[in-house]
Structure 1
C-alpha cells in the first residue's frame, strides 16, 4: 500500500469556507487521497476565525485554524479554491498573483469590469473559471453543443433551472453558460436573442430566441434542463444534482490539475479533456 506521505499532496486553501460550497469543499479535500487542507478563509470579523476548519466541514479536527485573510496563509497552500464573492475573489486573486499561486474560481456575479480585472491575472498565474464543476454538467455542455449543431434552426430552444431559496443570482451561472454554448453552436448573439421572462400578450415566439426559466425554492441543489422543441418531437438534456459534493469533488479535481499548469485561462472542459 502506498503511504500518503510517499506521494505529493496538493495543499488546498478554501475561500468562502463558511458557505455551503465551502463546507463541501473541506469535506472533498479531506476525502481526496491526493489533497490536504492547507487553509480555510472566511470574511474578516467572522466569529468562526480561530476555529478548526475540519469541524466546519464536519470531518473532525484537522489542525487547520480558520483565518480572515488569505494574506495570512500564503505559505500554507499550493492552490486556492474560491467560492466567495466577487470583491473577495478579486482581492484573493491579487494575493495569488503576487505569490504565484493558481486559483480555481467558482464565484459568480462579476460585473464586466470585475471580470476584466480577474481575467488579466491569467498572464501571471493559472486561472480556472467554471460556471459548474460537476463532471456531469460539463458533459452536458458538450452534449448541448452537439445537439444544437445537429438539430439546428428547426427547433425552439429553452433553458430551465431550479435552485434553493438562498441563491441570489438569476439565472444561474450554469444556465447562462448553457445559453452561451447553445448560442455559439447556433451562431447567434446571446445578448440579442436571450429572453429571461415572459408576461402578458407577448405574441408568437420569435424563432431565434433562447428562453430562460428560473425557479427558486426549498433546498434544491441544482436542476438544469435544456429543451429542443419542434413540431412532432422534443429532445431534452437534463442534469440534476442531489449533493454539493458533485461540485466540490470536481473543484478539487480541477485544483490538482491546475497545479500542473503554467499561466493561462482554463475551465472544466480542459480538466476533463472535452475540448
Structure 2
C-alpha cells in the first residue's frame, strides 16, 4: 500500500484528495500537514493527528501530495528531495523561478506539478485542446 502525506490537508483540495485516497485500497493517508497558524493543527481527522512539520515525519510516506501556498510548496519539495520522496503539487501561483527550482529537483525525485487540479479548470484545458485541434491556424494559450 502506498503511504501518502497530504500537505494543505484541511483545505478544499486536501480534503477532496483525502476522500479519494480513502476509497482506493492501494493508497493510505499516513500523515496530515497544515500551516502552523491553521486552527486545525493539533486536531485529529479520521484518527490522524494534523501537524505542521513535514520534515519531522517525511520517512512516514512513499509520496507527498501538496496543496499549499508557493512558499510552503517549495519548502516541501526541498524536504522531499532531501529524503528521496516523490512530490505531487496542485499549488497555484508558482513563479518561473520556483518552477525552475522544481524542474532541477526533478532530476533527484519524481515531481509532478499541476497548478490547478480542479475539475472545472481541467475541463477548460480539455475544451481548449479540442478548439486548438479544430483550428490549427489559431494560437491558443491559457
TM range (shorter): 0.7 to 0.9
Deviation at 1:139, TM superposition (A): 7.1
| Counterpart for residue 38 of structure 1 | 30
Q: Tell me, which stretches of 5 or more residues in structure 1 are unaligned?
A: 1-8, 55-62, 158-181, 184-189, 191-275
- Is 1:106 aligned to 2:95, yes or no? no
Unmatched segments (≥5 aa) in structure 2: none
Please state if 1:81 is matched with 2:70.
Answer: no
TM-score, structure 2 normalization: 0.85
Aligned-residue Cα RMSD (Å) equals: 2.5
Structure with bigger gyration radius: 1
Distance 2:4 2:55 in 1: 14
Q: 2-side partners of 1:131 and 1:115: how far apart?
A: 10
Which residues in structure 2 correspond to 1:173-188 (within 5 Å)? 182-183=140-141
2:48 paired residue number: 64
Q: Alignment partner of 1:65: what SS?
A: strand
How many residues of Structure 1 are paired with residues of Structure 2 in the alignment? 142
Q: Identify if the C-alpha distance between structure 1 residues 16 and 136 changes in structure 2 by more than 3 Å, giving closer, same or farther.
A: closer
In structure 1, how many angstroms separate the alpha carbons of the residues matched to 2:118 and 2:60? 27
Corresponding position: 1:130 with 2:114 = yes
Aligned counterpart, 1:221: none
User: Which of the residues 12, 25, 37 maps onto 1:20?
Assistant: 12
Equivalent position SS for 1:117:
helix
Q: Give the equivalent residue in structure 2 for 1:91.
A: 75
TM (norm. structure 1) is 0.46
Cα 1:149–1:88, aligned 2, differ >3 Å: closer, same or farther?
same
The structural deviation recorded for 1:21 is 1.1
- Alpha-carbon contact 1:26-1:53 (below 8 Å) kept: no
- Partner SS state of residue 20, structure 2: helix
Deviations 1:177-234 (A, max 9, x none): xxxxx24xxxxxx7xxxxxxxxxxxxxxxxxxxxxxxxxxxxxxxxxxxxxxxxxxxx
Instruction: Assess, with a 3 A threshold, how the Cα gap between structure 1 residues 44 and 134 changes in structure 2: closer, same or farther.
Output: closer
SS in 2 for 1:48: coil
